[in-house]
Amino acid sequence: MLSDDPKSDRKTSQNGPPHFPFEEPPFRLSMGLVKIITEEWFEIFDLQERGFQMNEKIRLLANQHDDIFMATPSSSAASTETLNLMLKHLPSTRPDLYERNRETIRLKSHSNFQEKEWSTNLKKNTMHPLDLAARLVQEDLIIMLPPGSKNHKTSKGWWLAAGSVAFPSRWSLKEKFNQPMDIIHAPVPFYKEQIQTTVNNFFDQMPRDEIYARRNWSLYDNSSLRHDGTEQPNKITVKKIDSSNAGEHLWLRVERQTIRKLKGTGAILFTIRIHLRQLKHIVSFDGIASRLSKALSALPPEMQSYKQTDVFADSAQAYLNKF
């Protein structure tokens, strides 16, 4: 979830990669929050990418549901509020993709992009409300409840009460479920010293119904959407990566997160949207290769190890420095 996220470009064109979240050295860990309007809550740009990610999410849920979705009883009200918000928001902002009547929600199909069309009867729905909500969008969804919430054994901060996480970035919902924020982010270098208090205070004081966005990034040696923390960079592939082919073998993976304190329950809803771009595709944007190279250079060793970029950072930089 939270990691390093300097503020930089925001999405301005549907035709290019929407996020390049790195800035000039020196490295610093920050929340990097930007307040956004409701229309920017969920991101739908490339319909071909959307079709692939939506189909992949449904496939993963069918095969690994118990690894992807978890919820405590105390998250029920917040989950219902989340679903109701999304059932109102999505058809109003994207009527080309969503159709809602009193009893059903329908995801429309774009045949050119092979997204599967489906609908569900809301009155007869037996699915957990957050489970259903997450099937409507590319984003993963996480609900955090405040300290001292009913049925939670600890009062040490906001805690993860429910989640549908099909596309984690090297972490597991099973490990983070039912844990407070401080424990969830304990593996992140510099988190405790630099931003833990800031994060906790922001969550406590965040106005209800406002929405904030933030982003983090890393490099991966494959384009898989799901990284549940069990895998390491492929040693064979890494050995083959050099300055001549890093553009083919490495992907920039960006998480675009939104944070919203729900108006009714006061729970916090995280959305997490994955953007993947092959390195060779991002170097065509003015100044981006240089910015990413400098950002890699600025990462402290602890953060390089955490992001697992240390094994191919030199090759990536040598490639980027050609542009």
pLDDT in tens, 214-230: 999 999 999 999 999 88
Res 230: pLDDT = 82
Mean pLDDT of 156-179: 95
Res 178: pLDDT = 95
Model pTM? 0.91
Contact 308, 233 (CB under 8 A): yes
Tokens of 211: 């929405």
Res 189: pLDDT = 95
* Rg, the chain, Cα only: 20
Mean pLDDT of 285-305: 94
Residues 101-130: tens digit of each pLDDT: 988 999 987 655 556 677 888 989 999 999
Supply angle C-alpha 233, 44, 124, rounded to 5: 100
Res 47: pLDDT = 87
Tokens of 107: 């995801």
pLDDT over 60 at 86, yes or no:
yes
Between 252 and 240, the higher pLDDT residue: 252
pLDDT over 80 at 149, yes or no:
no
Q: How crowded is residue 92: how many other Cβ atoms within 10 Å of its Cβ?
A: 12
> 148 forms bridges with which residues in the sheet?
none
Q: Average pLDDT of the chain?
A: 89
Res 102: pLDDT = 84
